Every structure is written in structure tokens, then in C-alpha cells.
Amino acid sequence: SPESTVEDMVKYIDKMPASRPRAFKTHASPPTLPFQDNVKYVVVLRNPEESIVSMKTFTSKHSQEFLKYWGMPPEAFQWADIEAFYNAFVKGVGMDKMLFGFMAEWWKLRNEPNVLLLHYKDMVSDHEGSITKISDFLGYGPYTDDEWSAILELTSFQWMKKHEARFEASSVWHIPVLEKGAMLRQGSFGMARTKDGMTEALGSDLEERGRKILTDEAAFDWMYNGGP
């Protein structure tokens, strides 16, 4: 909230029980996020065109109560189309630097033993294989057949969509942060241009901007297409 300080957040984290593993979600990358040998990092990347069209939906579904609390006008996160959003967030705010800069920093660390780099496309294409990778990386298991079946069900898009209220920050604040449908949309890939409005011109502009930030060709190809 606007009243929260860094000290408040540190106190909140310190109160979490240290008797079990703690998980933290962030959009930061090193060096903003400290890289420590005793921490395991599960890093998920996505095709940047898909990230942008998904972000448009996510931002537009912030609740009116949330906007009012932060002193923002009701229309603050509303855009007529993807081009208007692109102009505001990529050209205006520099979202391209955030996306491709994130990839550049984590790509350098991809072979570290405490880093697991995953691509959204691969996670959707091979759900069970991806969950196996994460479980092995974190050192969990072995599981009984019933336990494994439950894990696969609870990590599926179908289950999460059915229970999407659990993932929309509905209990983290005294006012609703998001509207229904903000966090879980399609659970698919490859639709940025065919369904979500991303144009050839915007895609070309994004690629041009991205190549200035992410200069490793292998990293650039993996960010767009995934793979081993």
C-alpha cells in the first residue's frame, strides 16, 4: 500500500516461519534481486509478444477501489487497443527494457546449479515434465501415485481457472486489488497475433528494441520460442 515501508516488508518476511522452505515471487532480476548461493531460483520466461498482450488484460482488470486508493483516475489502466497499450507501456514506460533485460541477466546464470530456467510455452506443452523438473530441482519427492496425481491436478490450468479467486490477491489487502479474470486468462501460447491483436508492425518494433538489449542470439531465440 502507499503507507508501507521497506522496514514494514522486512518485518513481515521475518515473521514467516523458518522451519519450512519459503517462496517469494518477484519480477526482478540480478543485480536488483540479490543472487545468493543458498537460494534456489525458478525463473519463468515467456514470448515477449505474449507477455505484452497478457499484461494489457492484467493491468486493465485492476479494481476501481485499487485505483481510487492510489489516487488514480478510473480510466488510468484502460486502452482502446493493443497499439495504445504498447505506446504507453513499451514506448512510454520502457517495458521492453524490463522484459529483455530480465532475460539477459538470467541467461547469464542459466547454468548455475541453483537456477532453473523454464519457458511458458514448454510448461504448457509438457505440464507433467515441467512439474517433474521443478520437483527434482527443489529436492522434493518421491511421491505416491495419489500424491503425484493430486500435484498434477492442483498445478493444472483447468484447476486454477476453476478456483481463480485464489490467485487474484483477494485476501492480501482490505480492498480488492483485481477483478475476476485478471490472473488466469487462456493458459495457451501462440495467440498473440492470431487472437490477441498483436500486429506485424508492433512485433517488428518490439523485436528491434529487444535485439538492442538482448544481444545473445541463442538467448533471443529461446525467449521467443522456448525449447531445451
Banded model confidence at residue 3, pLDDT cuts 50, 70, 90: confident
Tell me how far apart the alpha carbons of residues 155 and 140 are, in angstroms, rounded to a whole number: 15
Banded model confidence at residue 167, pLDDT cuts 50, 70, 90: confident
pLDDT tens sequence across 116-148: 999 999 999 999 999 999 999 999 999 999 999
Residue 130 DSSP SS3: helix
Residue 202 DSSP SS3: helix
Mean pLDDT of the chain: 91
pLDDT tens sequence across 168-183: 776 677 788 888 877 8
CA-to-CA separations, 203 to 45, 47, 169, 221, 222, in angstroms, rounded: 17, 11, 31, 14, 16
- What is the reported pTM? 0.88
pLDDT tens sequence across 31-48: 999 999 999 999 999 999
pLDDT tens sequence across 183-223: 877 777 877 888 778 999 999 999 999 999 999 999 999 99
Residue 110 DSSP SS3: coil
